Structure 1
Amino acid sequence: MLLIRTPVMLQALERSLEKGIPESLKVYGTMYHMNRGNPFNLEALVDRWPDFHTVIIRPPEQEMTDDFDHYTNTYQIYSRDLETCQEVLELPGTVNWKQSLQFQGLQPGLEKVIRKVAASKSVQVQTTDTILYINPETLKRLAPSLLQRDHANKLPLKTSRPKKEIDEGKFKPSTMEVDNAGLVNGLWSFGGNERSLRFIQRCIRHFPSLCLSGPEGTPVSWSLMDQTGEMRMGATLAEYRNKGFISYVAYHLTQTLLARGFPLYSHVARDNPYMHRMCQAMGNVSIPCGWHQWNCVPLASSR
């Protein structure tokens, strides 16, 4: 694998990945942040250059020091050729299969490849498969051909404002603070542990976020962004649900991020009808390729 180092090559890789949207969006979004400060200190590898087949983005080896921290040991992956992708994953030095890790990608075909290589490495795989939503203005800018016909007839297509109004005198919009990470960690379906807490703190520290704070000054609803450019970890405290708070937060954070040129997308669990309705009401478009995460644990590992 070749490590892409120079700014010119990294920018060229971003432009090339844009042509593969939506399947490349997870890697494209990560490259977008890498080319604008790289706050997670990530590195991009390709199987060849410039006509690559497979791209893998990962942290540098010196940062993946905790063999059980799959939040840090994360690999974003996109491939134009799944056969050569298998060869890449088998190459020494590309993936540390002795660690607990996760792959993230938007290609269903990666499932078979990852499981085949993992089996040869005595690694157990758990798959998470959810619905991918892309912001309509992101689609217009990066992949207009993906817009559905009924959406295209309504151009210009914009993010829809929530119908419910929020009393901003009582509930104050603000950015999340690192000290609020525990609230997020307690409600995030992928979290609830010390390693996920550190990941959330890092996201709050480096990327835009938005919350609504209640009368006591504590966040009651919030949305964050991760290192791949995805809007994630949105939630509302139980006693404040069904009041339109998360719609307010998602809409206003979206406006901030669009103004900065970020590609915007998110995922929703299949059994979460409220969030599906919210995404659709905002004009977000569900994409057939879906959102996928593969958590890999060596069979010899113990926590």
Structure 2
Amino acid sequence: MVILGAEELKEAESVLKQSFPESIKVYGCIFNINRGKPHNLEVIADRWPDFIVIICKPKVQGIKDREGDFNIYSIYSKSKESLKNFLDTPGVINKHTFTLLAGVDIRHLGAVQEFADQHGLPWKTQGVMNVLFLQDERQLQFKDSYAGFRLAPLSAAHAHLVNSTWKYGGDRNSCNSVLNYITHNPSLCVLEDGGGGEPVSWLLVYKHAALGLLYTLPQHRRKGYAKLLVSVMAKNLLGLGHPVYCFVEEENDLSNKLFTSLGFQNSPDYRAVWFELNKRQ
């Protein structure tokens, strides 16, 4: 096992960029690490520089945010068998604690299942995701007029509202994550005139550089806010050399249609799996 230092991380970013979409989640984590974003991550590989498996994992477990609470691992592997062997390497996984392997290539799912079964660890598949990349920015949709509302970044004061509507939120640890996203990553929201300063629609960016937490309050839907937020955010991120992508649950037809209508496409033979090891306390 090799722990990557600053120079290796720069090289890894360049190498991983050649292996999208399979490498995108690990790439996104390293992209933000290399730009000085706060993180509680270490990046490990089975060997260097000719790695087969590379993983971003928490440096310290139990940090009071969602990433620490869920002990999230981001994984990229070129080989199912190499992934299973690396997971068995001492120091890679604590077999006695809850761990969420996020972004496992569905073609390698058998490797993590076999690893869990071999060690008698309870497991379950939390979700299967499409990975949607912006392929054609000409399909982004903007408005000619912003009459009646304005766009602005979210502020720390909005963290509780965002957390209260987040599918994976609702507690203090997830709120800490939302606050971290707002403080350190790009965000965008719609503020309607006369709305008292509270956002009615918003979009954030995760630590792994994906678009996320896109949400519009029910009474403000069907106004095109979601498409506008994605379009403006995507344009801004492209100007920064930032990857523009998102994970969407396979069964979420509305979100899949929204992103594909804006020029995002998924690879038909690739899906990312969120896989739980052990029971969460």
Structure 1 residue 34 and structure 2 residue 7: aligned? no
Partner Cα separation in structure 2 for residue 99 and residue 221 of structure 1: 36
How far did residue 223 of structure 1 move?
Answer: 0.6
Paired amino acid for 2:151: P
How far did residue 195 of structure 1 move?
Answer: 2.0
Cα distance per residue 1:2-39 (max 9 Å; x no partner): 1011x321111112212221111111111111111142
Paired amino acid for 2:253: P
Q: 1:168 aligns with which of 146, 150, 157?
A: 146
Which residue is 1:263 aligned to? 243
- Number of residue pairs matched? 277
Secondary structure of the residue aligned to 1:293 is strand
Q: Do 1:71 and 1:199's aligned partners in 2 also have CA atoms closer than 8 Å?
A: no
Secondary structure of the residue aligned to 1:246 is helix
Q: Do 1:221 and 1:246's aligned partners in 2 also have CA atoms closer than 8 Å?
A: yes
Which residue is 1:232 aligned to? 212
Partner Cα separation in structure 2 for residue 67 and residue 284 of structure 1: 30
Percent of matched pairs sharing the same residue? 27
Secondary structure of the residue aligned to 1:133 is strand
Gap regions ≥5 residues in structure 2:
none
Partner Cα separation in structure 1 for residue 232 and residue 262 of structure 2: 11
Q: 1:192 aligns with which of 153, 170, 176?
A: 170
Partner Cα separation in structure 1 for residue 43 and residue 19 of structure 2: 16
- CA distance change for structure 1 residues 92 and 200 in 2, over 3 Å: closer, same or farther? same
Structure 1 residue 180 and structure 2 residue 158: aligned? yes
Secondary structure of the residue aligned to 1:19 is helix
Give the TM-score normalised by structure 2: 0.90
Cα distance per residue 1:225-273 (max 9 Å; x no partner): 0111100110100101111111111111111111100011112223333
Which residue is 1:220 aligned to? 200
Partner Cα separation in structure 2 for residue 223 and residue 66 of structure 1: 23
- CA distance change for structure 1 residues 132 and 216 in 2, over 3 Å: closer, same or farther? same
- CA distance change for structure 1 residues 97 and 66 in 2, over 3 Å: closer, same or farther? farther
Q: Do 1:70 and 1:101's aligned partners in 2 also have CA atoms closer than 8 Å?
A: no
Q: Do 1:134 and 1:266's aligned partners in 2 also have CA atoms closer than 8 Å?
A: yes
Structure 1 residue 126 and structure 2 residue 125: aligned? yes
Gap regions ≥5 residues in structure 1:
137-156
Which residue is 1:272 aligned to? 252
How far did residue 59 of structure 1 move?
Answer: 2.0
How far did residue 69 of structure 1 move?
Answer: 6.3
Deviates further, 96-105 or 206-215: 96-105
Q: What does residue range 30-109 of structure 1 map to in structure 2 within 5 Å?
A: 30-61=29-60, 63-65=61-63, 71=69, 73-105=71-103, 107-109=105-107
Q: 1:158 aligns with which of 134, 137, 141?
A: 137
How far did residue 66 of structure 1 move?
Answer: 6.3
Paired amino acid for 1:181: A
CA RMSD of aligned residues (A): 2.2
How far did residue 159 of structure 1 move?
Answer: 4.0
Which residue is 1:3 aligned to? 3
Deviates further, 189-198 or 242-251: 189-198
Q: Do 1:132 and 1:287's aligned partners in 2 also have CA atoms closer than 8 Å?
A: yes
Partner Cα separation in structure 2 for residue 84 and residue 98 of structure 1: 22
- CA distance change for structure 1 residues 204 and 161 in 2, over 3 Å: closer, same or farther? same
Paired amino acid for 1:98: H
Secondary structure of the residue aligned to 2:86 is helix
Q: Do 1:18 and 1:28's aligned partners in 2 also have CA atoms closer than 8 Å?
A: yes
Q: Do 1:89 and 1:95's aligned partners in 2 also have CA atoms closer than 8 Å?
A: yes
- CA distance change for structure 1 residues 106 and 87 in 2, over 3 Å: closer, same or farther? closer
Q: Do 2:17 and 2:24's aligned partners in 1 also have CA atoms closer than 8 Å?
A: yes
Q: Do 2:122 and 2:277's aligned partners in 1 also have CA atoms closer than 8 Å?
A: yes
Q: Do 2:65 and 2:177's aligned partners in 1 also have CA atoms closer than 8 Å?
A: no
Q: Do 1:97 and 1:121's aligned partners in 2 also have CA atoms closer than 8 Å?
A: no
Partner Cα separation in structure 2 for residue 279 and residue 94 of structure 1: 35
How far did residue 167 of structure 1 move?
Answer: 5.8
Which residue is 1:117 aligned to? 115
Secondary structure of the residue aligned to 1:83 is helix
How far did residue 290 of structure 1 move?
Answer: 2.1
Q: Do 1:133 and 1:265's aligned partners in 2 also have CA atoms closer than 8 Å?
A: yes
Secondary structure of the residue aligned to 1:173 is strand
